[in-house]
Structure 1
Amino acid sequence: MKLNMSKMIFVMVILLSSLISLSVNNWFTIWIFMETSLFMFIPLMSKNKVNDQSMKYFIIQSMSSYIFLFSIMWNSIKQNNWNSMLTLTSLMIKIGMPPFHVWKPDIMKSLKWTECMLLTTLIKIPPMILINKMICMYLLILPLLITLIVGSLSGFNQLNLKKMMAYSSIFNISWMTSSFMTSKKAMIMFLSMYSFLNISAMLFFKANNLMFVNQISLINLKKKMIVNLNLLSISGLPPLTGFYPKWIILNELVKSSILLTSTMILSSILSIFIYMQINTFSLSNLGLKKKNYKFFFTKNFSAPNLIILPVMLIMWKF
């Protein structure tokens, strides 16, 4: 996506809509900014003409908006938990939260990396704010548990980097939602850290023209280390940068829900294992030529080091 003047305006409107939503208390105003982001994002997807992915995205987002408005009107007549569940369902469809997540990887694999950055960061902020302001904590426990399990398990055996980042985004929806429920400082810290790490990883994939996991083995060692550390930081491996905002969220959340906190920790281990597979593939002899296999025991120590590093961190913690 070349940033000409019109596309720069679209991106700036999406950025401003997301940032203004953070300082607005009226749900109707947040909904207007959410729909503004939608109508600014569709021209970025469709490029010069309307395609299947932009139409699919528009239909899904429009359907979720209709359900949201219907639930609000119904709630004004009679307020009960079913109306709140309907509101939650509409917002879950909008951000691609399981079990309504199937559209997100399918759309992201056909987008360019610049559009994937927007879809996984700024576009999610207004629906998250509405979830935080309109849904009770006890109604969110089950959807967050499902999101953690589905997001961590769906990333296994993914060869397409865009689909893998889509499932990583789905997994981090639960952390983002939890950060909104804890405190404003934790929310701002997690949003800034996650957006920085996510955008830097996708910019690296774009700069090196990477589309599949096995292409990482073709770049030089320095670039491999950069991308692997970045991915491990997104997953929350200590003592990397992405671990600290998650640690703060866990410290706050453990006071309200032990079940959700323990599921977050266990699912994060699965998420780290997925990125460890990428490390093993790119840094071990699986990514080298066949003639170099005889040097496995003498020159290649990357796979044992990847196993020893988390073990040493766990021993140091205890």
Structure 2
Amino acid sequence: MSNNSIACHNESSGQYSILPVCIYSFISSVGLIFNITALAFFFHNTKSRSHTIVYMTNLAIADTLLVLTLPMRIYYHLGFTGLPQWFCDGLGLVLKANMYGSIFLLTFICFDRCMAVSFPMSSHVQEGRRKAPVVCLGIWILTFGASLPIYLFGPQTDSPNCFDNLPIYAIQLKVVLPTLLMGFGFPLVIMLICSWGLVSSVQQSTVAQTKLVDGRKIYRMIATSLLIFLISFLPYHATLVLLYLDGPTPSCTVLTAYRYSLMVACLNTVLDPIAYYFTTDTFRRSFDISTVKRMFPLNSQSSESTGRSRRPRNS
């Protein structure tokens, strides 16, 4: 860790750590509730599971794993020290791997929807869509397999600053270039192409012209997916570019921007479940109070017992 990074850490310690604590606390609590609820819905409604739902289930798992790393960041930003560096690096590995897993899964969700709408009668497309579980397995292997060597064989640090260490791996050209291209650039290009394909298919579809398909709903789905993707991941990858351009001793401003852009990227775990609700008809139609009661029978039983206790007894 560079002296400049240590100085920036000292300047940002103390009272200024309250903002990371608040942001990470919000993301961890709300994100955990949202994603556990989404997973309960996905696993409860196995009969209506589509190929897109397979991707969404894996996305919710990735978001949940990411959220589970945040309490230790809260612990650190509250001023507690003494965490071993290998433990901090391990949590960083899980966070980054699941963040890029979310990026790839969001990309394949968009691609799957594009294929389903653009080529609904193609047997080759339908056969390819059935391989969604294999694609998800490949994404898990890719994200953790690509991240693990960086933490195992990269340069080691004995700095005690845990999560405030300079992201030295991310500013090396041999790492940052593939990260920007494969981890953000290509997925963004694919999402843009698929979104354009979806819009074109809807405009040319005779079914959409007869109002049997709500084109506005599809447009809203496209806009929501792209907006969530850009809001969550564009700031983080933009700061990676700034870190690289600043060289081995980036300024405190760039380091601070990097740390807060990582928080924004983690916010994706809260936004994804909201996207499930507003862009997926099956999720929105099925997810109501009765569904929640069926998924959590203890609550419904307690409510019923409470209701019975409040009823007046016949004398």
TM range (shorter): 0.3 to 0.5
TM-score, length-normalised on structure 2? Answer: 0.36
Structure index of larger Rg: 2
